[in-house]
Amino acid sequence: MKIGQALKMALRSILGNKGRSVLTMLGIIIGIASVMMIVSTINGMNQKSLEQFEAMGTNRVEVSCYLYNGQDAFDSLYTYCNSLGSDLVLGITPTGYCSPTVVYGSKSTESMRKNEENMWNNWTGNESDMADVALPPSQYYGSDQYAICNNFELAAGRDISVLDIRNYNQVCVMGAKAARNFFNYADPVGQTIQVDGNNFTVIGVYKEKDSGSLWSADNMIVYPYSVSRLLSPGNDMNDFVVKAASAEATTEVISRLSGYLNGLTNNGQNGWGYAYSNNQYQESMTEQAGMMSLVLGGIAAISLLVGGIGIMNIMLVTVTERTREIGVRRAIGARRSSIVTQFLIEAGMLCGMGGIIGIAIGTVGTRIAGQLLVQMEIWPSAAITLGAFLLSVCLGIIFGIYPAAKASRLQPVEALRAD
């Protein structure tokens, strides 16, 4: 029997029993849709988390250090890290956070905080609806290497320099969203803002890298860390970021920094210090997401097993109904392989059609889950879609083997006698 003829016969058999075929496909439809939704949604959430890590900057080494004698550890760390060379370390900066009141004209962080309160009062659960709300910027102290360590690039003006730090210059660099919130679309470079009543000059603006997000990394202002004595007197900076040259260099940088911190703190007697990498968190998150996909996907795959058993059951019924037809074909010389091929094609087509419907439902479900869980568009990847279809067809073939073999073993004489 030709394959084309077998396909036509299989399609005719499926369409001839529409209700039974649809009910048989339900297990495959539910299973494929569930697996696609779970795997695609988890992958999308994992990708969203990785993008947030990348927005902050890759190959970052987080360092914390405190000395009991009150000495500032940053100068020592700055000198040591720069001595390691650019093949290991690209930069180091404090991550000190501050919250002074910033005013420019009629706009201020206080009015933006009121906007934030109103936003929460009118929160609809959809982040994209609030993306244009002017929220108060995050404010940091940084070194001349802040941009390198946090994956920022200049769009206009200049960055903080060593001289700004040494001379306690009252300057700042803004993220793209903070600049837009304060200055709309005017050029902020060279403008003066009031920071806790002190005049600060905007010397630069970073390129936008996190557009469309409500809590955007671009909504920030960074000051030279030396002005912390003016804006945050008595507030020590104990947390720092070191930018490693590569993912491979990160491990060695952590090892060297850990040894240096042990010496600086005299093995914990004069203070404490430790270093760790966000790369480790990324790897851990990826592993956890993979394990979650396997566990939840395995649970959803149980419905595929149930659907496969349903396919086997209905194919056995089909064999019984078509016993005389099989007998006639065997009597006129049809080979056993032709009978097996016909029933396997029918089982595979039945599951394949269920798989296509399940893929369509899973795609829609993935889009809905993406909007509800992470407020982003998630599409199943081509690999997942193709894999789901092939899985459905393979299930049909696997669970159709026994009915097909049973049909091929029927003796012509006995089959012709069947009612």
Residues 219 and 96 both lie in one domain: yes
Residues 352 and 240 both lie in one domain: no
Residues 275 and 386 both lie in one domain: no
The confidence score (pLDDT) of residue 200 equals 96
The string of DSSP codes covering 73-110 is SHHHHHHHHHHT-TTTEEEEEE--EE---EEETTEEHH
Mean pLDDT for the stretch of residues 316-339: 73
Angle CA 14–393–325, to nearest 5:
35
Beta-bridge partners for 240:
63, 94
Residues 146 and 234 both lie in one domain: yes
Please tell me what DSSP assigns to residue 325: H
The confidence score (pLDDT) of residue 233 equals 80
Residues 321 and 241 both lie in one domain: no
Residues 133 and 42 both lie in one domain: no
Residues 80 and 151 both lie in one domain: yes
The confidence score (pLDDT) of residue 14 equals 74
- Assign 55 a pLDDT band (cuts: 50, 70, 90): low
Single out the residue in 237, 261, 283 at which a domain terminates.
Answer: 283
Torsion angles phi and psi, residue 248, rounded to 5? -70, -35
Tens-place pLDDT, residues 176-229: 999 999 998 899 999 999 999 999 999 999 999 876 666 778 899 999 999 998
Residues 233 and 312 both lie in one domain: no
List, in order, residues 6 or more apart from 309 with CB less than 8 Å away. 27, 399
Residues 257 and 358 both lie in one domain: no
pLDDT at 148 over 70: yes
Angle CA 251–253–259, to nearest 5:
105
Single out the residue in 264, 283, 302 at which a domain terminates.
Answer: 283
The confidence score (pLDDT) of residue 419 equals 55
**C-alpha span between 1 and 98 (Å, rounded):** 79
pLDDT at 271 over 80: yes
**C-alpha span between 204 and 191 (Å, rounded):** 10
Most confident of 167-171, 260-264, 280-284: 167-171
List, in order, residues 6 or more apart from 235 with CB less than 8 Å away. 96, 98, 228
Single out the residue in 238, 257, 283 at which a domain terminates.
Answer: 283
Count CA atoms within 13 Å of residue 57 on its CB side: 26
**C-alpha span between 11 and 363 (Å, rounded):** 26
The confidence score (pLDDT) of residue 274 equals 85
Residues 62 and 137 both lie in one domain: yes
- Assign 174 a pLDDT band (cuts: 50, 70, 90): very high
Structural domain boundaries, residue 33: 3-50+286-417
Residues 247 and 309 both lie in one domain: no
Report the chain's mean pLDDT, rounded to a whole number.
Answer: 82
- Assign 129 a pLDDT band (cuts: 50, 70, 90): low
Residues 336 and 358 both lie in one domain: yes
- Are the CB atoms for 115 and 134 separated by under 8 Å? yes
Torsion of CA 332, 333, 336, 337, to 10 degrees: -120
Torsion of CA 322, 328, 332, 333, to 10 degrees: 40
Tens-place pLDDT, residues 353-378: 888 998 999 888 888 887 777 667 78
Helix (H) or strand (E) holding 151: none
Our count of domains for the chain comes to 2
Give percent of the chain with pLDDT exceeding 70.
Answer: 84
The confidence score (pLDDT) of residue 185 equals 83
pLDDT at 125 over 70: no
Q: Does residue 92 or residue 49 have the better pLDDT?
A: 92
Q: Does residue 384 or residue 361 have the better pLDDT?
A: 361
- Assign 169 a pLDDT band (cuts: 50, 70, 90): very high
How far, in Å, are 336, 346, 384, 408 from residue 411 at the CA level?
10, 21, 43, 8
Tens-place pLDDT, residues 137-146: 999 999 999 9
